[in-house]
Amino acid sequence: MSLLVVGSIAYDTVETPYGNRNDSLGGSALYFSAAASFFTPVNVVGVVGSDFDASKISFLKKRGVNLDGMYVESGDTFRWGGRYHKDLNQRDTLFTYLNVFENFQPKIPAKYKKADYVFLANIDPELQLQVLEQIDKPKLVVLDTMNFWISGKRRTLEEVIKYCDILIVNDEETRELTDEPNLISAIRKLASVEGPKTLIIKKGEHGAILYHNEKYFFVPAFPLDKAVDPTGAGDSFAGGFLGYICRQDNIEANTLRKAVVYGSAVASYTVEDFSFDRLQALTNEELDERFKSFKDLTSF
């Protein structure tokens, strides 16, 4: 089975109540693939600038992440800056410099076009459409986005949503997409428009909701006494989720539920430290241990 992700590769500048980091490794494609690599090999398509230090991603190559689709263009790598409040669920975007992403036209290498599972990570929806036009019909297309694109490119985003099988968004984005304040009504409304009938709503430190076959499945976030940097939690959730599905190679309801738990387990490690510091040190044993802890947390 093969898994393809198209998304951002970034340098992030992050401030949290626990400290700050300048120009640390980030980006939706990298967080996704680091998490998915615990389950399956991953093929990445993205772009970096001539300022990008490739040695920083050697740990991903060792974990089976294929970066042949990472294009190097002259100019600067995409940069994002964010500040988290004391309530880590609240984040302000301080800047978004698209840089080499501004003129990027994703070219999917021929060997990736037949991917079985595809993750369209959070990037410009116009680029997400271009990706869909180039790939053969995959088994599953999962889409992520963020408020930046909901307010900036809503029409194009709605077009992309029509072609996806699963949409992953957070609670605020769900309300924004539907203009509906009640989250449960917003979920129903989102599932009723043309597009995916399976939705995942991320609620930060309050966990995630899977809506599938008109049923809800709730998973808490793992109770951590120190969450240091939530950046990449959403993308690594998606990586654990889709990586597990790809390994199982089925999309039955029970697999989706376990996948949501694995997604939550990887994401809980991501936030324990800045950037990729915790994910780099993470082992499969630790991940399985946390998956089991979720059983204890929720069974009664």
Q: How far is CA 168 from CA 33, 74, 81, 94, in A?
A: 16, 32, 22, 23
Q: Which of the 8 DSSP states describes residue 193?
A: S
SS3 at position 111: helix
Closer to ligand AMP by Cβ: residue 75 or 188:
75
By the rule CB under 6 A, 169 interacts with ligand AMP? no
Least distance in Å: CB of 279 to ligand AMP? 12
**Complex with ligand AMP: residue 28 or 66, whichever CB lies closer:** 28
In the bound complex, what is the minimum distance in angstroms from residue 229's beta carbon to ligand AMP? 9
Binding piece for ligand AMP, criterion CB under 6 A, among 22-30, 36-44, 134-142, 187-195 = 22-30
Q: Report which DSSP code applies to 275.
A: T
- Of 4, 6, 8, 42, the residue at the interface with ligand AMP (CB under 6 A) is 8
Cα distance between residue 149 and residue 246, in whole Å = 27
For the record, the structure tokens of 143 come out as 């889409």
Q: Which residue has the tokens 């939706």?
A: 28
195 within 8 A of 177, measured Cβ to Cβ:
no
User: How distant, in Å, are the alpha carbons of 89, 133, 228, 275 from that of 272?
Assistant: 14, 38, 5, 10
Decide if 94 contacts 81 (C-beta within 8 A): yes
Q: Does the footprint of ligand AMP cover residue 46 (CB under 6 A)?
A: no
Kindly state the tokens that stand for 212. Answer: 């599938």
Q: Does 138 bind ligand AMP (CB under 6 A)?
A: no
Residue 189 in tokens: 């409304």
Q: Does 233 sit near ligand AMP (CB under 6 A)?
A: yes
How many Cα atoms are found within 13 Å in the side-chain-facing hemisphere of 74?
A: 0
In the block, tokens 């939690």 appear at 233
Among 4, 16, 21, 26, binds ligand AMP (CB under 6 A): 26
Nearer to ligand AMP, 2 or 207 (CB): 207
- What binding mask, one character per residue, do residues 240-279 give for ligand AMP by CB under 6 A, x or -? ----------------------------------------
Q: Least distance in Å: CB of 30 to ligand AMP?
A: 7
Task: State whether residue 12 is helix, strand or coil.
Answer: strand
**How many residues make contact with ligand AMP (CB under 6 A)?**
16
**Site stretch for ligand AMP (CB under 6 A), options 43-51, 64-72, 228-236, 277-285:** 228-236
Residues 193 and 210: their CA atoms lie apart, in Å, by: 17
- We find the least distance from the C-beta atom of residue 82 to ligand AMP, in angstroms, to be 7
User: Closer CB to ligand AMP, residue 73 or residue 116?
Assistant: 73
Considering only residues 148, 218, 223, 249, which one is a binding residue for ligand AMP as defined by CB under 6 A?
A: 148
Which two three-digit tokens encode residue 131? Answer: 């990706």
What CA–CA distance (Å, rounded) separates 300 from 243? 28
Binding stretches for ligand AMP (CB under 6 A): 8, 10, 12, 26-28, 80, 96, 122-123, 148, 231-235
